[in-house]
Amino acid sequence: MADTEISAAENDEHSQKDVTCIDQAEDIHAERKTMLAVLQECNCCPRCQLRFQNMRWPPMYSDPKPEVLDSSHSSVTLKGDAEQIDNETSDKSTPVCPLCLGILQDLCKKSFIHELGNQLKSEDFEFKNYALTLSLPLELYIRQHLFLIYIKTKKVTINRSDVVDIKDVYKWVCGPLMASELKVPFKLYSPFEVQMTFQNAETEAEVEELLAGPPPKKKKRRFYKPKPLKKEPATKQQVINKLKEKSNEELKEMFSIPPTSPTLCSVCKVEGIHQSIFVAGRYNKYSRSLSQTPWILDGTRMTPSSVQELVCDSMKEMFRASAYNFVASGREDVDVKTLGRGRPFAVELNSPRRTVFTDEDMKSLQEKINSMTTSIAVRDLQIVTREDTSKLKEGEQEKTKDYSALIRLADEVTQEMLDSFSKIEKLTVQQKTPIRVLHRRPLATREKIIHSMSASPVDSHHFKLHLCTQAGTYIKEFVHGDFGRTQPNVSSLLKTEADILTLDVEAVNLDWPKALDT
């Protein structure tokens, strides 16, 4: 008897749970039905109707035509095909969606993607796959917020996280369409990006209205009128933060709730951007009248060319890049030669249109650069990663460089003087910023180490000094002393006036990039 009573109680409990579940399902179904009705009343496009119902199955968005929910289900019935949707959204009587500003309507059509594909093909990029990068009008975040305020007045529970992002929907719909046009796979991440910037001139003032603060207080200025500050573009975070600050009542006074349809669809600017390609190598400089980078003073070129231009201009042409950045392991003065295996460098080629290169291509590029001038030569040209280029700056303080300098003494050179250099090891030098570079470097005293020195005679007043020093040591100042700003120096060590006539970099002791067979 007791078992029978327990069994009956359990059945009652399960029955109650079933009733509760049915009630909850009916409530959810009623909310969705209300949501769909409101979305349609507000002239929202089919894809936005799906977004605001938190539908996250990508195929649903390819050819959506949501109908009123079936009374026995809580899902949307999909009908129609892509061509039908194109015709519908291109119909002049179809209003522009107030929640996507037409981005998920006309700008998702096959005909529009076809135009974009032709534009990208005309730019002649090399790529094996592609990704989409979207920049949306900031007023979309305002309009979504206003709609969420409105829908809650209809007793529908919805949060911002329940709405599928426009960017996701656009990529689900247009990613495969553009892949078909470009005949390469669509990827979420790719070295080649199709950057799409959407704008709507009719609605962009909404952002300014939201962010506008109280007018600045006018100050009396007797002597001058200040220049107007350049206005920085608004950001998504600024818009979101401002929406959080404003009460619903304040927003109702500023904007229409629910948001209304604009008369014009958004427009889209498209640009293809390929990730930078990095080329590393070493260069020799044989000229004493060539700067490392373009040397321009007050609009006047001080040297006809530079190492950077001689190296990079041919690279830019071969890679069909939009621009380049040149970085080397230190720099030499205009009148200093770089000998030995040369100075390591790297070149960043921005948005290259040609991206596939063989070892033979790099050898051809190297030969082309070397055949165009006798002022420089390059070696070991190779493509590297962005991470590899960090090795140019790694160990900056530990790196050493070898130099040879031709020095003239006021007194006669003696063998005792020459021998004295080989007896010095790890000489610590205090260098105040040289006078000649004070215009571009802050005044400071820097401690540098001369690891080793040796000398060989040339004639009665000249000798060659060979040095291995810490990177960043100013060799010219170490010789003549720079009016006592570098201590000790060759003049103080030999107790006679010394001056430097020529200087050569013999080696930059950095094992990068790897040496290639020539």
C-beta separation of 65 from 85 below 8 A: yes
Secondary structure (3-state) at 74: coil
Peptide bond into 352 cis (omega under 30): no
1: pLDDT strictly greater than 90:
no
C-beta separation of 324 from 364 below 8 A: no
List of E strands, 333-399: 337-350, 376-384
Structure token digits, residue 246 = 């404003």
Secondary structure (3-state) at 170: helix
pTM, to two decimals: 0.79
Torsion of CA 339, 515, 391, 330, to 10 degrees: 10
Q: What percent of the chain has pLDDT over 90?
A: 78
- Paired with 323 in beta bridges are 350
C-beta separation of 69 from 32 below 8 A: yes
Greatest C-alpha distance within the chain: 127
CB-based burial of residue 73 (10 Å sphere; 0-12 exposed, 13-18 middle, 19+ buried)?
exposed
CA 64 to chain centre: 36
Render pLDDT for 313-353 as a digit per residue (tens, 0 to 9).
999 999 999 999 999 999 999 999 999 999 999 999 999 99
Average of pLDDT values for 302-313? 97
Structure token digits, residue 406 = 């031709």
Determine the Cα–Cα distance for residues 133 and 153; give it in Å rounded to an integer. 35
In sequence order, the 6+-apart residues with CB closer than 8 A to the CB of 118 are 181
Render pLDDT for 111-145 as a digit per residue (tens, 0 to 9).
999 999 999 999 999 999 999 999 999 999 999 99
When comparing pLDDT for 30 and 364, which is higher? Answer: 364
Q: Which residues are catalytic, by number?
A: 333
Determine the Cα–Cα distance for residues 510 and 504; give it in Å rounded to an integer. 17
Secondary structure (3-state) at 430: strand
Determine the Cα–Cα distance for residues 202 and 260; give it in Å rounded to an integer. 12
